[in-house]
Structure 1
């Protein structure tokens, strides 16, 4: 009697690794159910890191619905050659001990996303694998104005750990707390030297903005802020995740002198960006060399008053803008930007923009990342 040969087991692991690192993360989740050896390979930290390297440019945009099915997180996947894209509800599938109604996305890195529900509970989730981890509450004291709190999420390469930074308003000052995923603990860093309320003057009346997520670039989280005892100043505050200290990043020379509407920070091709409002139009600035004021470049794109940059660094050379509720893909080339209309199928009528994220296998419940080996 002839024996049946299991050809799957004959495939060398090196070849399987080359194949699997090119598959989408969701497909790999199905592959883990085929063989135990496959599941072991796909769950290995070295493989997960190799897969991340191969899939860096596969980017999604996360949005939160505000009217129809309020609080659901939707994912929009963008393709280089497509003008029509689909959206899909993702976080409603998460099995979490919470109300499952989301109000804020504070940041994302390596496929992990920091989200907040309507009860202000914070979670780290992987919207691709649907794994999640609830964060302990920030150990700050009693506060009357908690809605002024700011958060950011990034990665500290010096200790190979994911980091959440909270800037909490306490007794007239802003205090910084740092959460490390490996220890699952918050630590108080100290008071910030800045007022984390950025004024923008329309009719000589200082206004404030709040709720802006920290922008992660070059190992630092960035927020717009101002100096104490100077209600009209505006600056870019930087918090270094490795050094656990604040500093300033120089803005374009004179850009805040004629600003008339709320500025915003973002990322384009790994560079820090600044979007400023000037009368009836917006300007997009890109810092080509981090920390060098002379490296700021103004992109030649006209952003109207009702337009809004919703996501930057979607792919290697593009960003997404909202104009009158319609998505527009802006593909940048040197100093010029080409506009291309995009239709998002299945998107709710009213939504709040979140963050971009990539499909990865990283788990918020595992601490052996092996990124520095």
Structure 2
């Protein structure tokens, strides 16, 4: 039985009539950029994320970029960030002339290793950018303590983790900013690019509003050098249809993840991700570590059975060609290169059936590692 890594058709088809209705409403309104639906989505997301303010933006990467700009991060400033993450995390830092400082991650949670971060703080360090990778919160109480000790800002990369919690509190609400992505594959995915910043700081929110529209307020008067980072009305309207269903999507993902973790506990060649105390993951990805250099063979085995899989991520950012001579700290990383050779994500999407999940589990065991 083939099992896709993700099937958005199953999620979108039950909502098709609602999508068509909001499309027609926005079409007739002629309010295509920002507008009432963006404002309404901002209010709904802010409330959902336990934050006072939200600012709709053109993508999750642009959300990170605007957060850095609003905090005054610029040339020569250093920002601590994991190397094991999506390009946008560090790319946003480098685009401003700041220096990404590569920090290792923990081997069982895939999130930032603060012990390594401590060793890399200098008087140029201005911020830390923890990534809630694959849907699980980083240890945010420790990140906050770190930021207080060293006097740095916190930008949470929440691209894969909207709705995840730490100590019962939503990620994105701990730092100076939380950056969300609405890319179609995310737990709350749109129909193209889109993103948002959340914050509890009114002044930072106001600055982000200006920056997303060329630093302009009022019209044609520019206080800052911003950019065109605006969110389209149609994307916001469509996301508002999906937002009320987000918790049910999370619940279904958790059921799949819990079944994987329980049923693969005795597998000698597979390591399942660990959930830290106080955290509740939303499982944007369920990512295994395949040991003994067999990851590529494992992927080929799954693919031959029609089971979707992918590698997030095959190379640490510190090893990417574009970052050579730009970042620092990569030479000390040990976990990141190891994970890049071992990780593979398997289907965990909310609409996956129990039979499909059983097919995935059978394939993992059939690969030949069983004790």
TM-score, normalisation: structure 2 = 0.24
Higher helix share: 2
Greater fraction of residues in strand: 1
Identify the structure with bigger relative contact order (alpha carbons < 8 Å, sequence gap 6+).
2
Q: Compare CA radii of gyration and give the structure with the larger one.
A: 1
**TM-score normalized by structure 1?**
0.24
